[in-house]
Amino acid sequence: LLEPEALLPLLETVPSIKVISSAYYDNGNSAFIQEFGLDGRYGVALPKVTSGAFLTDEVRFLIASAATTDGIINHVVYPDEILDAYRSKSLRWEQLVPEYEKLFREIVAKYGWLSSDTVSTAAAKLALIRQATVYCENSNGRLKLICDPFSEPVSVMVTSKQPLRAVSGCSVQAVDSIRYLVLLQEAQALLEVVQP
C-alpha cells in the first residue's frame, strides 16, 4: 500500500499516473486512506476495498459497505499471494482457486448489478459519474432524470417503493423490490411508475 508521504514523490517521478489505488479503510497500518472519486493531484482515486481469496465476515462487511455506499468494489489480488504464507494460509494455488471462486460467486449473487471492470475502465466510469450531477424531478407518477454534463451513458441507482419502467432515454433493471439500476443513455431520461 502507498504511504501518504510517498504520493508526491511518486507523482513527481511518474507524472503520467492517472489512477492511485490505496486503502479505502484504515486497518491501522498508516496507509494512505482514500475515498472513491476525483483528485486534482493525479486524476482518479480508486482505493482497494478488499484483497485475498478468503471470504470472512470482515470481507463481507467491507464489500457490503462499499457496494451500498459507492456502488464499487475494488478487490485486489496481490501477485505474491501464493508466496506469502500469511495471505495464502499456506495453501497451494489449486487450493486457493476454489476460495476465489466462492468469493466472486457471492459478490455476483449479492451485487449482480455491479459490472466487472479493469482498473482503467472502472476509473473512467468513476470519473464520468463524479463529473456529472444527476437531477431528479418527480411528478404525477413520472420520474425525470437529468444528467449534466452528459457525454456518454452512466448508471445510477434509483430507490422507489413502486415498480418503475423506462419511458425514454434510459434502460431500467430491478435490483430488488425497491432499487433500480438505471442506465442513462441520454442527457434526459423519463421513468414511470408501473400501475398495478
Q: What tens digit of pLDDT does each residue of 37-66 get?
A: 999 888 899 999 999 999 999 999 999 999
**Which residues span the domain enclosing 152?**
132-193
Q: Domain check: are 119 and 145 in the same one?
A: no
The stretches of 44-172 forming alpha helices (DSSP H) are 57-69, 85-88, 93-110, 119-131
Are 94 and 47 a contacting pair, CB within 8 Å? no
Q: Any bridge partners for residue 157, and if so which?
A: 181
Q: At what angle do helices 93-110 and 57-69 cross, to 10 degrees?
A: 40
Q: Domain check: are 116 and 24 in the same one?
A: yes
Q: How many residues does this entry show for the chain?
A: 196
Residue 73 grid cell = 468494489
Q: Domain check: are 12 and 109 in the same one?
A: yes
Closest C-alpha among 31, 29, 111, 108 to residue 70? 111
pLDDT of 145-180, one tens digit each?
999 999 999 999 999 999 999 999 999 999 999 999
Angle value at C-alpha 110, between 33 and 85, nearest 5 degrees = 55
Q: Domain check: are 20 and 57 in the same one?
A: yes
Q: Domain check: are 50 and 93 in the same one?
A: yes
Q: Domain check: are 22 and 42 in the same one?
A: yes
Q: Which of 124, 159, 182 is the last residue of a domain?
A: 124
pTM over 0.95: no
Q: Any bridge partners for residue 19, and if so which?
A: 44
